[in-house]
Amino acid sequence: MADEYGNFKLEELLKDENYGLEGEFCLTIVTNNENFILSKVDGKKIILTEAGKIVEDYLNQAEDHFSNITIKDFVIMPNCLHAVVEIDSNTRKRNFIVHDISRFEISFGLMVGRKNPFMLKGSVFHLISWLKAASLIELRKNVYEDFSWKSGYFDFKISDRSAQKKVKEYLKNSATTWTSVKEDPHSGIVSYLSKK
């Protein structure tokens, strides 16, 4: 029986050998226990808190750390971050290097073995791991000492213009849908995308 990964079978994801290494992705990371500390929703406006500004700052630094990644759009909700990220296959074209895991990453439980195939430099996993670890330190130091991110993340590959358009619309209107999806932020974007 195949391992389950969200609504996808892991073996199906692994058929695409470059999954997470090239293409456009919609990513969602969620605060642990759905702590609503990253922003406040006021009508149609999202107002970042100090914690949200820290996350935004690290997200804006991502392109400086990852030469093949472009952050195309994002929204920081009270308990999650949704981002559209493009990984440029032309800058990495099959020259992927397995990332040696640092002591910093080990301390945050970001490894399975000494050489971790999901930690390829410039991959979705590497970006999320860096963003969560770097922001976690500053958030705990300056905002909320018990802050933590929920383990893992949600992602899907944006495969066509229709999905791209729907993701953009969802991010733009996320403040208005907030009350209906705040308990399960990822389900909101998934149900929005499944609409015809």
Local confidence pLDDT in tens for the 196 residues of the chain: 334 444 444 444 445 556 667 889 999 999 998 789 999 999 999 999 999 999 999 999 999 988 889 999 999 999 999 999 999 866 543 333 334 444 444 444 444 334 555 556 778 888 999 999 999 999 999 998 999 999 888 888 888 898 899 899 989 988 888 877 777 776 667 766 667 5
Distance from C-alpha of 146 to C-alpha of 141, rounded to nearest angstrom? 10
Distance from C-alpha of 51 to C-alpha of 135, rounded to nearest angstrom? 9
- 73: Cα separation from own chain's centroid: 12
Distance from C-alpha of 52 to C-alpha of 56, rounded to nearest angstrom? 6
Determine what percent of the chain falls in helix, strand and coil, rounding each to the nearest 5. 45, 25, 35
DSSP at 16: S
With a CB cutoff of 8 Å and minimum separation 6, the contacts of 67 are: 91, 122
Domains of the chain by residue range: 23-177
The second-level CATH assignment, the architecture, of 23-177 is 2-Layer Sandwich (3.30)
- Beta bridge partners of residue 71, listed in sequence order: 85
Whether 70 and 90 have beta carbons less than 8 Å apart is answered as no
Distance from C-alpha of 146 to C-alpha of 144, rounded to nearest angstrom? 6
- 123: Cα separation from own chain's centroid: 11
> Quick count: other Cβ atoms within 10 Å of Cβ 180?
11
pTM of the model: 0.77
